[in-house]
Amino acid sequence: MKKSILAIVIALVATVSCSTEKGWVKVEGNKFIDPEGNELVFRGLCLADPVKLVREGQWNERLFAEAADWGANIVRFAVHPTNLNSMGWDKTFAAMDKGIEWAKRHNLYVIMDWHSIGNLKEERYTSPMYNTTLEETFKFWCTVAERYKDEPAVALYELFNEPTVTGTGDCTWTEWKEIQELIIDAIREINPKAVCLCAGFNWAYDLTSVASEPIDRPNIAYVSHPYPMKRSEPWEEQWEKDFGYVADTYPVICTEIGYCLADEPGAHIPVMSTDVYGEHITKYFEEKGISFTVWCFDTAWAPMLISDWDFTPTTQGRFFKAYLQGK
């Protein structure tokens, strides 16, 4: 653990500000609860990076209207550090402000996702596009918390997309737990109502360490990314051991699932499978009360849900569109 973390938090959190806004999603036991006190299961779609979509001319209300038409009740903003810095923080957050307004018009909640992959403790990452620092990560979350402290539509704060120590240096679960708790504390100084999402290692798949060392903060949920090739079939017993058991005690949201056929564009490990995966994962989530968002409501980031900007569904797109609309 770097000793500078506490200093970073103190420097970034200059004031304590409490929201008086009513109507926030919260955690009770192992469930998300909506503002009316009912259990809320999130079923939605991952959007690509807002900066990418702005540059392609696809960051518009039409995207959000289509997501809602597919049956989503939440969308995920995959904010990449390098893109944020490339377009600039002011312009990027202004674009996200518009996205949040569009989401609200179509009754969609928003997950704000700090979309990096690697080892935040060592500041080593799997690709330059994910490069960030502890200081920048705290800055991002303090900025989000301050900007949206009165905006309950921004319901979930996903602290770090995919932690992994494979090829990125050492970090124990205890150390990663402490980093996450410090980020949560920084957020809560500004927005006490924020629901924070915490991921485990192995590219956010593995939550086995939660059994012995859960995050020591209230109003949090856990994240897993159970792509089909993370385990071999039959999946369910292994899912239960790796992440599913956590849903008996805490809310779990799988902020990335998805698949494509082996011969489809973008096919790669660990996402290759068939509709059989879609059938099994959705049934398992229903049995466990697990929320999810599907990667990715985009024409280029695999596995894709759409093949063009007329929103023509891919193989997984046809499956998940029918499933979501059925809900």
The answer to whether residue 7 scores a pLDDT higher than 80 is no
Q: Return d(Cα 117, Cα 111) in angstroms, integer.
A: 17
Residue 66, pLDDT score: 98
The answer to whether residue 3 scores a pLDDT higher than 50 is no
Q: Kindly tell me the burial class for residue 259, based on how many C-beta atoms sit within 10 Å of its own C-beta (0-12, 13-18, 19 or more).
A: buried
Looking at residues 239-268, what average pLDDT do you find? 98
The answer to whether residue 9 scores a pLDDT higher than 90 is no
The answer to whether residue 10 scores a pLDDT higher than 80 is no
Band (pLDDT 50/70/90 cuts) for residue 18 is very low
The answer to whether residue 181 scores a pLDDT higher than 80 is yes
Band (pLDDT 50/70/90 cuts) for residue 20 is very low
- Asked whether the beta carbons of 202 and 152 are under 8 A apart, the reply is no
Looking at residues 80-102, what average pLDDT do you find? 98
pLDDT digits (tens, 9 = 90+) for 23-44: 899 999 999 999 999 999 999 9
Looking at residues 181-187, what average pLDDT do you find? 98
Distances in whole angstroms, Cα of residue 133 to Cα of each of 156, 178, 212: 22, 16, 28
pLDDT digits (tens, 9 = 90+) for 107-143: 999 999 999 999 999 999 999 999 999 999 999 999 9
Is residue 4 classed as helix, strand or coil in its secondary structure? helix
Residue 11, pLDDT score: 52
Average per-residue pLDDT for the chain: 94
Residue 178, pLDDT score: 98
pLDDT digits (tens, 9 = 90+) for 292-317: 999 999 999 999 999 999 999 999 99
Q: Where are the domains of the chain?
A: 25-326
- Asked whether the beta carbons of 228 and 270 are under 8 A apart, the reply is yes
- What does DSSP assign to residue 194? P
Band (pLDDT 50/70/90 cuts) for residue 21 is very low
* Domain over 25-326 is classified CATH 3.30.70.380: no
Distances in whole angstroms, Cα of residue 305 to Cα of each of 8, 57, 191, 228: 39, 18, 33, 16
Residue 22, pLDDT score: 54
